[in-house]
Amino acid sequence: MPKPSKPLSEWARTLPEARLQLTFACPVAWDAMQPVGEGVRHCGTCARAVFELRGRAAAEVQALVTAHGGELCGQAWVREDGRLVFGECEAPRRLLRGRIRPRD
């Protein structure tokens, strides 16, 4: 798994509010992936690292995406309107895994 070039806290301080989207919904179950670290699993289907993003702040997720070249695979809550949920959110949501990148 690639290492970020600088600490995530440093990325987070320099970024505006996260503007992220899920661009690919992954059909592979989280439990079917091999754990490789705290909050990270390896998908044997696509050979990518998949990050647990539930409960993380928007700036932290944006920093993680930026530190990994502009996109990463992750598991996150998604609202009915398709927007990712950061931290606590009372809006109806569903758990999805997939590729996450900045919104256009």
Domain boundaries, the chain: 8-102
What is the identity of the amino acid at 47? Answer: A
Q: Are 28 and 97 in contact (CB under 8 A)?
A: yes
Amino acid at 95: L
Summarised one tens digit per residue, pLDDT across range 5-54 is: 444 444 333 334 457 878 888 899 999 999 999 999 999 999 999 999 98
Neighbouring C-beta atoms of residue 94, cutoff 10 Å: 9
Its pTM surpasses 0.85: no
